[in-house]
Structure 1
């Protein structure tokens, strides 16, 4: 008989599996007219699961294992699991009134299954669990990226995502096999002690590091493992693009941080150097390539790459402030980028395109969407009072505290580059030119985007209590061993 702590550790995931079954059953039994209810069922069910998790399953300062030390139960895993649930809920609500592609029960089922995988990624403390979680996350996302079968770009994006994802997973699995071969265990803590004991030759250690970073870098779209992101984000359905750039990225970063701080603590200095260089290159490449984009979704894709670089500053700092700031950045970025891709979805639904030129005169066609777009872009730029400002300020402060002044300077320069192309979008949106075709956003779009805007305002103005709540989570990551 399973112990109750083991069941409680995965209760939200069990409930999501039940929700998947209910949605598929309702789809089979209902008539076509009831199809629109599936999205509200999925989002409402996830919201209920989220409430149950927050109210009854917060671990507090307890830190332990479950399922034979396959997963860890701590505040860090809790934070990222909540983040993933929120991202899935908003993504589903953004999808409900989409007319660009045919929505089915399978769409929601795939999204929910992927969320389960991300949740286990956040809690994995074993290589086997980590790999299974990554594949459970990735396989549904391959299908979702190419879900719009009537659009060749969507099919192409799904195929590219599958091929690149399979390749990087092979690299990562090869690295895992080395770790198991040298340590005789798949437990992260045991592997850490083996590496710290010096029994692994330096050359092999560097090779293992490279192989693992390839896999994690792909998930977080860090340069030079970013090559898939622009095409996939551009071709995938807009809500899925937002989900990939936020929840999937957050899952990748929790794995990266837990792996870095757990498996390689004795080589932390080398990690700091590697993460710092990757942060600088990722910020710069993402922003420079965003400057020349003509499509809003491709611009947001390169913007997403640059933001991965800013998050890496906190990771590179490897201090409590650094880890907290990276986590807070991911929280703010979740709401900001989901709003951005939600607006891209509305633009695509109204005009049939996501070309940047279609933004022209947006304020005349839909003042509500225009001002939501204003708040979103100002947050992405890092301008107060929105959450993007305080989150960027915190990662820069962490960089200065960790004596990474050169990296902070690079980040500030890149922020000005980002300011240029972000304000270019606002100039078009608030111009007096453009066609007079009015845009009437559906209720579900207003609900999802309005929630995101409210969140980035609250996280920007009243950041102190939210930031302090990350104390335990950051300590858990730093003291996992």
Structure 2
């Protein structure tokens, strides 16, 4: 066993244990912000270090290997998994930055918040590197169970408790469906390893196809793909805003990471027949998510339906099933993190000071917190794909990739729905800038301000200069598909 292969996972586990120990050691009446500050610093340092773990494309082209294994190939570390782990860590760092004050004033159990974030992050990293169904299942449940608890972290809120119960029930159903599918696949193939499925003729038996379908349905639940989306609006609305942000950024990206590995490695032949179905589901997500978002009166609930539409956009790249499509999905996934940070940082501030996240609560935010209002506006415009934000570059990559594979109609649907999304995103801007609300200035902490400003700068930077991020996604895609 080569433990250096799982150094990132070991590091995250140590940080989670550190958060638990410090919560026990520190006096109960003392702030837990110092724990978050240490974790932010440590994760940032590790994020920078991870750039040295990439295998250059020149080395791969010369016949070198970019893939390292742990425990007999069930756990793989390649450029693809490294990129997604950096995405998860980036999302976690930003979430902790704008939640330092929120956590102190809103949540009763403060130390557990950080340790559960670390276990959720650990589960995401396991998902990105899993190379068999059991490892993927362990990572998925480690992440999901952490989120079950985090969603219900606001003990005094009935909405938070209700959201946690709904998430637990629906999540348990999807887990049962996926696990039964895995058992069927194992029963007909005799293996749970992704590469063993590649050309296994028994996978095309009735039981094998039923198992593969159940596994796909399990992933659709996790990605909130219509018609398996029913949990998302209530959970997004009831969960603490930083937890909602992690669900939107990290959880969805983790599902995409393992879904693409399963589709392209374990089920490539079955996946070929699945592509038309995925194209239809992608269109349904884009249409349904955007249409339903228009009628929402709560901004978090609106962002839940928006995230369903965003899942549809990312599935556009998956449908193309080639190098360009995978690159576009990863590129858009990172941009989606930065856009969400700006939106949820502002919402977290509003919920903390005004006690809600509906349109009445954000009314007049431009006067009481002009920086946050501007950040949120830019973030929402990026989600809509308006130039020169990064969202425009991301959607351009996605639609170009799928058009090259002959799905012109799908790109057309995505373009029309992107234009429709501008309407409800600008409704938020209208409430912040034109509607009358509480004009009392809101004090913004330096950490929350830094998270918001950095996210919006990254959103604009990658919109006008996407080359550097595109180089990394090229490298990750090339490694995966070599």
Task: Give the TM bin, normalised by the shorter chain.
Answer: over 0.9
Give 2:318's aligned residue.
Answer: 315
What 5-or-longer segments of structure 2 have no aligned partner?
61-65
Residue 69 of structure 2 is aligned to residue 65 of structure 1: yes
Instruction: Give the superposed CA RMSD.
Output: 1.5
State the secondary structure of the residue aligned to 1:290: helix
Q: Are residue 82 (structure 1) and residue 89 (structure 2) matched? A: no
From 17, 22, 28, the counterpart of 2:24: 28
- Deviating more after overlay: 119-128 vs 201-210: 201-210
Give the corresponding residue for 2:98.
Answer: 94
Distance change >3 Å, CA 296–CA 462, structure 1 → 2:
same
- 3-state SS of paired residue (1:72): strand
CA contact 1:239–1:338 (8 Å) conserved in 2: no
Write out aligned runs for 1:27-66 (5 A). 27-31=23-27, 32-55=29-52, 57-60=53-56, 61=60, 62-66=66-70
1:456 to 455, 459, 471: 459
Alignment of 1:83-232 (within 5 A): 83-98=87-102, 99-194=105-200, 197=201, 199-201=202-204, 203-232=206-235
Please list, as runs of the form range in 1=range in 2, the aligned pairs for 1:218-297 lying within 5 A after superposition.
218-297=221-300
Further displaced range: 433-442 or 7-16: 433-442
CA, structure 1 residues 441+405, in 2 after alignment: closer, same or farther (shift >3 Å)? same
TM-score by length of 1: 0.95
Q: Find the aligned partners of 2:99 and 2:109 in 1 and give their Cα distance.
A: 8
CA distance in 1, matches of 2:55, 2:98: 31
Given candidates 8, 13, 25, the residue that maps to 2:9 is 13
Partner of 2:63: none
In 2, the alpha carbon distance for the partners of 1:454 and 1:250 equals 21
Measure the CA separation in 2 of the matches of 1:63 and 1:157.
40
Q: Which residue of 2 aligns with 1:478?
A: 481
TM-superposition CA deviations, 1:412-431 (whole Å, max 9, x none): 12112201111121122221
SS in 1 for 2:69: strand
CA distance in 2, matches of 1:72, 1:179: 21
Moved over 4 A (4+): none
- The answer to whether the 8 A contact 2:236-2:244 is kept is yes
Is the Cα contact below 8 Å between 1:146 and 1:154 reproduced in 2?
yes
Deviations 1:224-281 (A, max 9, x none): 1111111101000101101001111010001111111011212343121121011000
Instruction: Could you tell me which runs of 5 or more consecutive residues in structure 1 were left unpaired when the two chains were aligned.
Output: none
Residue correspondences, number: 471
Measured at CA, do residues 295 and 69 of structure 1 come closer, stay the same or move farther in structure 2, by a change above 3 Å?
Answer: same
Query: Deviations along 1:92-135, whole A, 9 cap, x unmatched?
Result: 11211012223521111011011011101000001111111111
Provide TM-score, normalisation by structure 2.
Answer: 0.95
Query: 1:65, CA displacement in angstroms?
Result: 2.1
Q: Any idea what SS the aligned residue of 1:185 has?
A: coil
